[in-house]
């Protein structure tokens, strides 16, 4: 399907679901990312990497080294890996970065975006850029109050306007929790990420959770992001045109870490900690990093630098992790 046809089909889908011609941003993003047969993440095409036709690069796209560092970190966190399954949630097509370390675990289970994972009794859950790939609500400070933004879909063009009321109870709760801000300030909230994580952690399995993503706290968003953090990625180009090319570009916003941490704690995880990716690997995979750095393999050391250097993925990404059982 051509991008223009995909976009029009998603708009038509939203029109059927709209109330008064308007849908919440969360509903629009959900359709753009996950509508069956239309959404960005519903296709099997390779989206991640540097090859032609891809849209963005993640740490996992750097190959087996990512899996080696994750395995070393998991060993530091839980000990004997042979007693644990490695459960990857939010896997991208065409990636096999854990294949080389699968034998270190009791088993390897991989689940694509939109699938329903199941967890053995002892598991290490790893999710790389899963949370930022969830639908997000948008809120604007207007008239001394926080209002939720929606998108009018019944016109010739998509236009943004405030909703008459909050779209969900969780959206209302979030808006009430926000402090004052300057008029016109926007904050994006991936509340669906909190709901998804609660489901993933709801079972009785024991082990570790390792969440790699980029994010800020609510306070940081209200200090440094007046236009919000939502953006689109297409062909390795960052764009603020999040209403264009629906279904053919990635839509994302920063994770709100101070909303995610309590989800782990409520699920019984202890020692919950947020580190920069660089610090996490130094703390939990130092021996593996040293082995790679002294291997004499210049290509490997270059990938290691990309994963951990503050100018690359090392500072851009953070890792939230904890233990249960």
What is the tens place of the pLDDT at every residue in 285-307? 999 999 988 888 877 777 788 77
DSSP label at 121? S
Report the pLDDT value the prediction gives residue 121, as an integer from 0 to 100.
97
| Closest alpha carbon to 130 in 195, 64, 176, 80 | 195
pLDDT higher than 80, residue 253:
yes
The answer as to whether 74 is a domain residue is: yes
The answer as to whether 125 is a domain residue is: yes
Confidence of residue 255 (pLDDT cuts 50, 70, 90): very high
**Looking at residue 280, which CATH number applies to its domain?**
3.40.50.12710
Q: Which residue has the tokens 């993503």?
A: 213
Q: Which residue has the tokens 């941003």?
A: 25
| Closest alpha carbon to 254 in 208, 305, 219, 279 | 219
Mean of pLDDT values over 76-89: 97
* The two three-digit tokens of residue 312, written as one number: 């690359």
Q: Which helix (H) or strand (E) holds 198?
A: helix 191-200
The answer as to whether 167 is a domain residue is: no
| Closest alpha carbon to 129 in 75, 68, 88 | 88
pLDDT top residue among 301 and 241: 241
Q: Collect all residues with Cβ–Cβ distance below 8 Å to 252 and sequence separation of at least 6.
A: 132, 133, 230, 231, 232, 233
* pLDDT tens, position by position, 17-26: 898 999 999 9
The answer as to whether 37 is a domain residue is: no
Mean of pLDDT values over 250-256: 96
How many separate domains does the chain show? 1
Please say whether the beta carbons of 171 and 194 come within 8 A.
no
Whether the full predicted model's pTM is greater than 0.85, yes or no, is yes
Report the pLDDT value the prediction gives residue 60, as an integer from 0 to 100.
60
Report the pLDDT value the prediction gives residue 314, as an integer from 0 to 100.
43
Compute the residue count for the chain: 325
Report the pLDDT value the prediction gives residue 292, as an integer from 0 to 100.
87
Provide the domain limits for residue 77.
Answer: 57-134+193-214+267-325
Q: For all residues of the chain together, what is the average pLDDT?
A: 91
The answer as to whether 234 is a domain residue is: no
Report the alpha-carbon angle 35-252-237, nearest 5: 105
The answer as to whether 26 is a domain residue is: no
Mean of pLDDT values over 77-95: 90
Report the pLDDT value the prediction gives residue 315, as an integer from 0 to 100.
58
């Amino acid at each position: 399907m051509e991008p223009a046809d995909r976009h029009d089909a998603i708009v038509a889908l939203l029109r059927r679901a709209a109330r008064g011609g308007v849908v919440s941003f969360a509903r629009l993003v959900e359709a753009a990312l996950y509508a069956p047969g239309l959404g960005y993440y519903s296709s099997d095409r390779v989206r991640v990497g540097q090859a032609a036709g891809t849209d963005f690069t993640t740490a996992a796209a750097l190959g087996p080294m990512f899996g080696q560092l994750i395995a070393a970190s998991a060993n530091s966190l839980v000990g004997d890996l042979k007693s644990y399954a490695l459960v990857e949630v939010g896997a991208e097509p065409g990636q096999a970065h854990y294949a080389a370390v699968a034998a270190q675990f009791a088993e390897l289970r991989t689940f694509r975006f939109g699938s329903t994972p199941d967890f053995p009794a002892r598991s290490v859950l790893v999710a790389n850029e899963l949370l930022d790939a969830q639908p997000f609500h948008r809120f604007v400070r207007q008239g001394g109050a926080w209002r939720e933004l929606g998108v009018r879909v019944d016109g010739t063009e998509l236009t943004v306007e405030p909703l008459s009321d909050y779209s969900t109870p969780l959206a209302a709760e979030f808006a009430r929790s926000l402090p004052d801000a300057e008029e016109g300030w926007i904050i994006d909230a991936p509340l669906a990420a909190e709901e998804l994580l609660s489901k993933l952690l709801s079972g009785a399995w024991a082990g570790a959770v390792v969440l790699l993503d980029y994010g800020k706290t609510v306070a940081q968003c209200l200090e440094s992001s007046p236009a919000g953090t939502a953006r689109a990625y297409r062909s390795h180009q960052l764009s603020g045109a999040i209403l264009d090319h629906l279904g053919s570009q990635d839509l994302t916003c920063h994770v709100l870490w101070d909303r995610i941490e309590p989800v782990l704690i409520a699920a019984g995880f202890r020692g919950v900690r947020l580190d920069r990716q660089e610090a996490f690997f130094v703390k939990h995979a130092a021996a593996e990093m040293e082995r790679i750095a002294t291997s004499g393999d210049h290509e490997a050391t270059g990938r290691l630098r990309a994963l951990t250097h503050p100018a690359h993925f090392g500072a851009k990404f953070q890792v939230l992790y904890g233990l249960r059982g």
